[in-house]
Structure formats: structure tokens, C-alpha cells
Structure 1
Amino acid sequence: MGAPIQPRFLACGDTAVTVEFGTEIDDEVNALCLAFDEALAAAAIPGVVETLPTYRSVLVHLDPLTIDTAGFEARVLGVLGGLKRSTAQPKRWKVPVVYGGEFGIDLEDVAARHGITANEVIRRHSDRIYRVAMLGFLPGFCYLSGADQSIALPRRTDPRVKTPAGTVSIGGVQALFASVEAPSGWHLLGRTPVRNFMPDRDPVFLVGAGEEVVFEPVDASRWDELDRAAAAGEPVAEEIAA
């Protein structure tokens, strides 16, 4: 993998360490985080309790009675020395979205602020292959890289206290596929019936970090049918060929 990888180790109390690989949103850095997270799991280091990969770092929870931070850092450097990034084609999911109206209450405003039509916003937003950089904030929230910057907007100055589960939105340079009802300062373009997080389903998380998402615009008349299927545990999102 070229030059040795030299992450920063940042203590998070006495039971966790952040292993930081970069300081910006970058697909290469994120791919490194995901590869490291996978390799760390395979290494099965005693004392590693849980890992949480993000855009640019991996938070590692430790059992301090089993391993100290110095010992952990030494083991990490060993893992990084043999790290290989996956060359496998990631899963790609087609996710249905109802855009605009009550499902995407900011669509018209986003269009007006860019001087284009709502249909053009939909076209630009759905004509992308997004990469799931991380799951975060709340269970199953998909933070997506690859957003069309021609429709980007800063986050809202007046965040909403509540936005619906399944919200599909944009904010800054990012795009989002939400999972549960939550507060948000992002711009709501549409909504998907897909439940990316269902604690009683196997798998609990449908779409994972490192996978890909394409959005399929669907008519509002299909919402009830798709929403019922998703509530019953059906994926609704379709795995497609890359």
C-alpha cells in the first residue's frame, strides 16, 4: 500500500481511542477507515470491545483491564502493516424515493435557490451513484458521498425539531438517507419507505458502510403499498448489478 500508514491516536477517556486517518471528507480516507475496521475485526485483538468507523477515523472501545492504550497502538501498527483494501465490487442498492410535496417539503425551495426547476433537482439528485461513507448520528443513518455539488446548499439556519423517518436530504457537500424520525437541519428533497434500521429484522441494517446507493424516483401513489411492505420487513430497496 506504499508508504507506511501513520494514523493519529486520540484518547477518548480511559476506555476508547480514536484512530484518525485524515481531517477531511475524502473517499480514499474513508475507504482506508473501512478497510482498517474490517482488518481490526479479523485480528480479534483481546480487549477490543467494539469499533465505530466514520468518514475519517475509527473509534475503538477497549476493555482497559485487558489491554492498555500503548499495547493497543502497537497492535494497530501491526494490523496496518498488513492492511489490504478490498477489491471486491460493493453492493449497490436501488432505493425508491417519492420526491417533493409532503414527502420533500424543501424541494421547491432548493430549486428556486438554484434557479432551476424541481424536476431538474430531482434529475440531478437521482442521477448519481452514492457511496455510503458511514452510518451515524442515529442507527442506520446513511451518510453519502458523491452528491451533485450543483444543487448543494449550506444546512438550514433554523433546524427542524422533527423530520420523518426515511427522509432523503442534502446539507453542505453531503447527502443523507435517514432511517428514523429525528431533528435535522438538512434540506428535505423526498422520502423513502425503506427501513434501513429494524432491530427485529435480520439483517438489522440493510444498507451498510462502503456500499452504494442509487435513488429511483417513484410516484406518490405507490407510497402506501411500498411503506406497508417495508413495515412488514421487506427490503423494498433492490440490490442491483454495479
Structure 2
Amino acid sequence: MRERPAGDDGLLLDFRSHDRPSWMAARVADALREASDLGVLAVSDVVACAETVLVEAPPGTGLNELGVRRVVHDLLAHRGVDDDAADEVRSAVLIPVTYDGVDLASAAALADCSVDRLIEAHTHVTWTVQFIGFAPGFGYLVPEDGSDPSHTELLGRIGRRDESRSAVPAGSVAVGAGYAAVYPRASPGGWQLLGVTDTVLWDSSATPPAVLSAGVRVRFCRAEEVIG
């Protein structure tokens, strides 16, 4: 782990040298939030990204960097082994999808497979939110470590569209360049659209407003499988 100053009251923890940087960033972020909730550490915000965690203290108070290091050390020393087992049972957000997207057939052609085979791969991979970006609630999903390589290799063949669309409907389920995502609201976009979901991933009136955050696991399924 490398540490980088982020102003007078912040610290950026960089896990790019770790063998599982996204996994580590998500776990450290959770541990820091827990320490803050318990009053062990005075933290105003913890932002997990793909390979880093930004920790901020209330403005003008100065961050307890030693306390941050202790939280990370405790995680590595006492929870590392348990977390591997916990990942096996940690529940995933289930997102039902109607696979009728305008790019479904062309995406299958890019993957050199049938539409049914593409849907099978998309629904059999367990995805993890690597980071949130682009729009509120928009999670960049990557295949979880240990996913079937026959599925991940197939999905990895599908790149972004040559031209972005000016408007993608809210709830659109998409893939591109090895990532999967759900558009939480209508916006421009250049990913391949496989289908649509009724699952609401961003609600500004809810607490928290976003369903997804870094480290959250996601599974997609055919919508007809959960009806009735």
C-alpha cells in the first residue's frame, strides 16, 4: 500500500501493488467506515475507487493518519483469512433483465457466439462493482475473481460502440470493454445494450440513494425467472 497526501485533511491509499487491488480497496473502505461509525476514527468521507481509497476528515481537523494505518493493519492481520471465506457467502444484488436490447445480436456477433450463449455468460458471471463513476449510481462492474474463464473471455471480446448514443434509456443493461453496467437514468452512452431492468439503482430520496457501491456483488438473471 502506498499513501499519498490529499490536502490538509485527506489521504489517498493506493493498492495497485496488491494482488487483488479492487478487492482490497473495497475491504479497507468498509473497515474505515465501520471505524468511523464506532467513533474510533474521525472521518467525514471514504471514497473507494478501482484501486484506491480516499479518506477525508472534517475540514480543518486534520486526518488521524496513524489511526487509518491501524485500521488497515488490523484488517490485514485479523480479517484477511476470514474475508476470503466471507466472499463465498456474501449476498449479491440480483438484477432481473429483459434481454431485448438493440445491440444484443450485434454484441453476440462480436463475441462470436449465439444470443443465448451470450445471455448465459452474462447471467452466470458474478460481477463486482469496481468503482462508481460517469453518473450518480453508475457502477462499473467487473467479473469476480474465480469466474468461469469461458464466460469472461467471451464477454471480454465485446468492445464499446464505434459511436455513442445521445440518449440511452434508464435501466438499460450494457456491456463494453470487459465491463458491465446498468444506466441508472437516461443519459448519453456508448456501451452495447443487452436489455433493460426495472430495478431502480439511483433514488435521490432514499438513504443511501445508490444501490451499488464499490465492492458490492451483482448477479444478472432473466426477468422471466423471477416472475411469479
TM-score range, shorter chain: 0.7 to 0.9
For residue 107 of structure 1, the aligned residue among 104, 108, 111 is 104
Asked if the contact 1:106–1:187 (Cα under 8 Å) also holds between the matched residues in 2, the reply is yes
Asked if the contact 2:97–2:195 (Cα under 8 Å) also holds between the matched residues in 1, the reply is yes
Alignment of 1:1-242 (within 5 A): 7-14=1-8, 16-22=10-16, 28-44=20-36, 45-46=41-42, 48-67=43-62, 72-83=64-75, 84-85=79-80, 86=83, 87-88=85-86, 89-100=89-100, 104-146=101-143, 148-152=152-156, 153-202=158-207, 204-218=209-223
How far does residue 15 in structure 1 lie from its aligned partner after superposition? Answer: 5.0
Percent of aligned pairs with the same amino acid: 29
Match of 1:4 in 2: none
Asked if the contact 1:159–1:183 (Cα under 8 Å) also holds between the matched residues in 2, the reply is yes
Bigger CA drift: 105-114 or 143-152? Answer: 143-152
TM-score where L is the length of structure 2: 0.77
- 1: distance between equivalents of 2:155 and 2:194? 11
CA deviation profile, 1:46-92 (whole Å, cap 9, x unmatched): 3x321111121112233351115xxx433322222211244533122
C-alpha spacing 1:182/1:60, structure 2 compared with 1 (3 Å) = farther
Aligned residues: 207
CA deviation profile, 1:158-195 (whole Å, cap 9, x unmatched): 22232121121111121113322222222111111100
The unaligned stretches of length 5 or more in structure 2 are: 144-150
Query: What SS does the corresponding residue of 2:219 show, helix, strand or coil?
Result: strand
C-alpha spacing 1:194/1:15, structure 2 compared with 1 (3 Å) = same
The unaligned stretches of length 5 or more in structure 1 are: 1-6, 223-235, 238-242
CA-based RMSD: 2.8
TM-score where L is the length of structure 1: 0.73
CA deviation profile, 1:2-47 (whole Å, cap 9, x unmatched): xxxxx222344555432111179x7x2222112211221233323x
Asked if the contact 2:8–2:60 (Cα under 8 Å) also holds between the matched residues in 1, the reply is no
